[in-house]
Structure 1
Amino acid sequence: NLLSDMMSVEDFVAIASYFTIFVSGTVLNIIFIYVIINGTRSAVGQAYKHILISFAICNIIFASMEFIAKPGIFIYGTSLMTFSHGFFQSVKPWGFLSLCIFITMYGINTALLTLHFVYRYIVLCRHNLLHIFEESASIAAVTLSVLSWGFIYGFITFYCFAATDDYYEYANPSVYTRFGVDAHSLSFFCIFTHKVVGGVTTIYWLSTLGLGLIFLMMIITFGLMLFCGVEMYRTLKRTSMSQKSKALQTQLLKALAVQSLLFHAIGCIYLHSNRSDSNNVLHM
């Protein structure tokens, strides 16, 4: 009975933490949207306002999908499983699809965050390219690029990281030992690039390709953010613009850096909490 009560308390704390993060994140983003619409200076630019609002809306959707999917993480040997213990955990294929949509929204948010840096870089360092964010055709192309970036993340998860018979054979005994359930009953995706048995390494190329593409996409986005950030910093150091304009651009750069750090810090918190809770999530 005591063990059962402890499990109930742990389950309640896990649910409460998810709900608190979801509600607080949603409320903060709604407030942020209100401030952007009603409280920002005209000097910020209409295009940048739209980027900020889009990022806030996508953050709300991202938090909603995290709340719905409730991803948990289980690592065994050379494999990593991300499983759903949310509303659709036992409803196939919706539990798996909710995880794919969650990863899709992560990709879109990453692309939008990179777009922030690119836009500020163009405003400060390549002002002649600002028409990209003013012409309808260019705006449509940028929007399509952002959505496509997220779609690629989701498609890689759906196609390259789907569970295989090799993964079930490799990890199912450990999953059952850890959680007391058969892996076939779970909704999850897995990264399973290789296994080593008796000194022989077997490579699973589809998962390896997917992981390589994800790493490449992360390098591209982080590289762009770093490049644009460094160039903006250098430009602000040597620019001859007025003190008022320079102060505004410096504030925007600092806000962008903080926003980027917060986005990735929250991702790390989710990852840590999901790993910490993975002993009990399947009892929810």
Structure 2
Amino acid sequence: MLWLHIIQYSGFFMAQVTNALLVYLIWTKAEKLFGTYRHVMCTFALYSLVYAWIEVLTQPVMHIKGPIFIVIMDSPLKYQKWIGNDLTCLYCGSFALVISLLAAQFFYRYVAMCRSNFLQNIEGIKLTFIFIPCLVCFVLWFEFVYWGMSNTVEKQLYMREEIEAYYNEDSTKVSFIAPMYWSVGTNGEKIWKFWEIMSSVECVCIIAVCFSTILFCASNIYFTMKSASGHMSRKTLELNRQLFITLTFQTILPFVMMYSPVGLLIVLPLFEVYVGSIANFVGASLAVYPSLEPLIAMFCIKEFRKTVTCPSLRKVTPATVSYTTSSRAV
């Protein structure tokens, strides 16, 4: 647990630095480059800052035993059940905002590239409309976790020895959320818990819908760029290419570090695969993720990369160019 918490705190501090830097780059360098799209980018970066705070306030510990996977709060608030269970649900709900905000970015680029005649419908204050589905996904995920994976006495008793043996915690006192897919009756038969299974299924469906939206928009953007390569200016085409690559890698990263591991946590208890405390590798991955996401934009977008890697060169270059032009004019 010491190493897990070191990773969680390190990920938190790194996320504050990298996301704050990205916000600065967006507001100082992206206005002329991206126009209104910079607001969408900035929203995602700001949310990554918030996500890091939620993660460090929760400091989740994860464990799988039999038909249950459990997310235990291990922060100083873990014994404050009036807020602990809700904060753990908020942590789980934050996964929905990450993927839905990525889908919103792809949707904006899709409209800008493939349906430019509709772009005016999401400009100015109307831009907030594309974030409404993101909030809906977040609220739904939070509710599925809150009602379908709630902290119950049955789960406390089932995990009591396991949690005490591995983490030296009392399951009746610590805050947690956990779906339990079935219980065992007096005759040894499985009693399936329909609502808890459906809560997990609905969370997976939210991920599937968002990824489907991303794939639809990404494929259309790619083919539009390919067909319009002869009609766009070289500068415009290059800028769109950079944004497309950035969004692509920003989608691959959470798929590898967040949604694939979380998907395994949801599925493995159905097959009674005993994972135990190894599930905390998922918690470590989730803690590091928000600090890495901004680095993709910083190094895939040329203007950001130049500012981060060689600011002194950027100050010298204009003077050199001016001097050379004047000399040739003479």
Q: TM-score, structure 1 length as denominator?
A: 0.84
Which residue of 52, 55, 69 maps to 1:63?
Answer: 52
Whether the aligned pair in 2 keeps the contact of 1:167 and 1:192 (CA below 8 Å) is yes
Which residue of 80, 87, 92 maps to 2:69?
Answer: 80
Match of 1:158 in 2: 146
Whether the aligned pair in 2 keeps the contact of 1:14 and 1:277 (CA below 8 Å) is no
Whether the aligned pair in 1 keeps the contact of 2:58 and 2:91 (CA below 8 Å) is yes
Whether the aligned pair in 1 keeps the contact of 2:63 and 2:279 (CA below 8 Å) is no
1:242–1:157 distance in 2 versus 1, CA, 3 Å: same
Alignment partners' CA distance in 2, 1:196 and 1:178: 23
CA-to-aligned-CA distance 1:73-92 (integer Å, 9 cap, x gap): 01001110001001211111
Whether the aligned pair in 1 keeps the contact of 2:69 and 2:178 (CA below 8 Å) is yes
1:86–1:274 distance in 2 versus 1, CA, 3 Å: farther
Matched, 1:215 2:204: yes
Give the deviation of 1:221 after TM superposition: 0.2
Give the deviation of 1:213 after TM superposition: 1.0
Matched, 1:124 2:129: no
1:64–1:264 distance in 2 versus 1, CA, 3 Å: farther
Match of 1:24 in 2: 14
Give the deviation of 1:180 after TM superposition: 4.2
Structure 2 runs not aligned, ≥5 long:
263-276, 284-330
1:179–1:25 distance in 2 versus 1, CA, 3 Å: closer
Alignment partners' CA distance in 2, 1:277 and 1:32: 26
1:269–1:199 distance in 2 versus 1, CA, 3 Å: closer
Alignment partners' CA distance in 2, 1:33 and 1:167: 42
Higher RCO, 1 vs 2 (CA within 8 Å, ≥6 residues apart): 2
The one-letter code matched in structure 1 to 2:138 is G
Identity %: 20
Match of 2:42 in 1: 53
Whether the aligned pair in 1 keeps the contact of 2:184 and 2:190 (CA below 8 Å) is yes
Give the deviation of 1:216 after TM superposition: 0.9
Match of 2:239 in 1: 248
Match of 2:289 in 1: none
The one-letter code matched in structure 1 to 2:88 is L
Alignment partners' CA distance in 2, 1:103 and 1:277: 13
The one-letter code matched in structure 1 to 2:148 is C
Give the deviation of 1:27 after TM superposition: 0.6
Which residue of 186, 190, 205 maps to 1:201?
Answer: 190
Matched, 1:187 2:192: no
Q: CA RMSD in A?
A: 2.5
Whether the aligned pair in 1 keeps the contact of 2:106 and 2:214 (CA below 8 Å) is yes
SS of aligned partner of 2:81: coil
Give the deviation of 1:277 after TM superposition: 9.6
Alignment partners' CA distance in 1, 2:137 and 2:260: 24
Give the deviation of 1:270 after TM superposition: 8.8
Alignment partners' CA distance in 2, 1:183 and 1:246: 56
Alignment partners' CA distance in 2, 1:217 and 1:277: 20
Whether the aligned pair in 1 keeps the contact of 2:58 and 2:74 (CA below 8 Å) is yes
SS of aligned partner of 1:88: coil
1:200–1:15 distance in 2 versus 1, CA, 3 Å: closer
1:195–1:164 distance in 2 versus 1, CA, 3 Å: same
Matched, 1:99 2:83: no
Which residue of 246, 267, 271 maps to 2:258?
Answer: 267
Alignment partners' CA distance in 2, 1:105 and 1:237: 35
Alignment partners' CA distance in 2, 1:194 and 1:212: 15
Whether the aligned pair in 2 keeps the contact of 1:103 and 1:154 (CA below 8 Å) is yes
Match of 1:168 in 2: 156
Match of 2:137 in 1: 149
The one-letter code matched in structure 2 to 1:145 is P
Structure 1 runs not aligned, ≥5 long:
1-9, 279-284
SS of aligned partner of 2:150: coil
Whether the aligned pair in 1 keeps the contact of 2:4 and 2:280 (CA below 8 Å) is no
Which residue of 257, 264, 282 maps to 2:248?
Answer: 257
Whether the aligned pair in 2 keeps the contact of 1:71 and 1:274 (CA below 8 Å) is no
Give the deviation of 1:130 after TM superposition: 1.0
Whether the aligned pair in 2 keeps the contact of 1:195 and 1:202 (CA below 8 Å) is yes
Alignment partners' CA distance in 2, 1:167 and 1:19: 29
The one-letter code matched in structure 1 to 2:151 is A
SS of aligned partner of 1:31: helix
Match of 1:6 in 2: none
The one-letter code matched in structure 2 to 1:186 is V
Q: TM-score, structure 2 length as denominator?
A: 0.73
Match of 2:268 in 1: none
